[in-house]
Amino acid sequence: MISRNSRFDSPIMIRGIAADLPAVNQVITTAVQSWPASDRLKRLALTALHYASTDVQDFEFLLCYKAHACLGVAVWEPENVSFTRDTSSVALLHGLYVDQQHQQQGVGKLLLDEVHLRAEKRNFSGIYVRAERFSASYFEHVGYRQLADNQGPGASISAYPHRFLRDLAARHSNAA
């Protein structure tokens, strides 16, 4: 028997549109407020991290809702295949943000699982992310591998220091 409120018990994923950008940016704002950084750095970061309606053409926004609350957002770039590994393409995870009140409750993992599924359907072999220093351990925890300076997209002597790759083929071998 399904309880009357069962549709509100589990979070749902929706693909965001331009009209969802206020909710997206609100989640980003509350997520950034939890960063272990100065108020000035948080304020400056928000300017760069908030999305505008023109971004909808370049990114896919996935929103995690429970009841009427947006708990988190994943933003990835499925159409720009600028990253390749061997003969396969790797998608860029542009951002993963969870509302401050809903952090450490599995929302980020749910969003990443949805990004992984969508990427696999588009035949991507992996997901690449440039993480903030303080979120590096999270990406390692959920199965991303940190890249050395000479590995993967953006490889160079002065590569971004917190680059991670999630091999989607490994995702299936770990599940077996």
pLDDT digits (tens, 9 = 90+) for 102-136: 999 999 999 999 999 999 999 999 999 999 999 99
Name the band, by pLDDT with cuts 50, 70 and 90, for residue 170: low
Which DSSP state fits 95?
E
CA separation for the pair 163, 146 (Å, rounded) = 6
| CB neighbour list of residue 34: distance below 8 Å, 6 or more residues apart | 100, 103
* Cα end-to-end span (Å), the chain: 31
Distances (CA, A) of 142 to 25, 30, 36, 103, 167: 24, 22, 21, 15, 12
User: Residues 71, 110, 76, 65: is their CA dihedral positive or negative?
Assistant: negative
For the segment 58-80, what is each residue's pLDDT rounded down to a tens digit? 999 999 999 889 999 999 998 76
Which has the higher per-residue pLDDT, 9 or 98?
A: 98
Question: pTM surpassing 0.75?
Answer: yes
The pLDDT, as a whole number, for residue 95 is 96
Helix axes 107-121, 168-175, angle to 10 degrees: 110
pLDDT of residue 30: 96
Q: Are strands 126-130 and 88-98 parallel, antiparallel or unpaired?
A: parallel
Angle, CA of 139, 14 and 135, to the nearest 5°: 15
Contact of 81 with 41, CB cutoff 8 Å: no
Tell me which CATH homologous superfamily contains domain 6-128.
Gcn5-related N-acetyltransferase (GNAT) (3.40.630.30)
- Domain layout of the chain by residue ranges: 6-128
Distance CA 109, CA 146 (A): 18
Considering only CA atoms, which of 42, 36, 20, 40 is closest in space to residue 137?
36
C-alpha angle 141-147-150 in degrees, rounded to nearest 5: 175
Mean pLDDT of 40-47: 94
State the CB neighbour count (10 A cutoff) for residue 167: 17
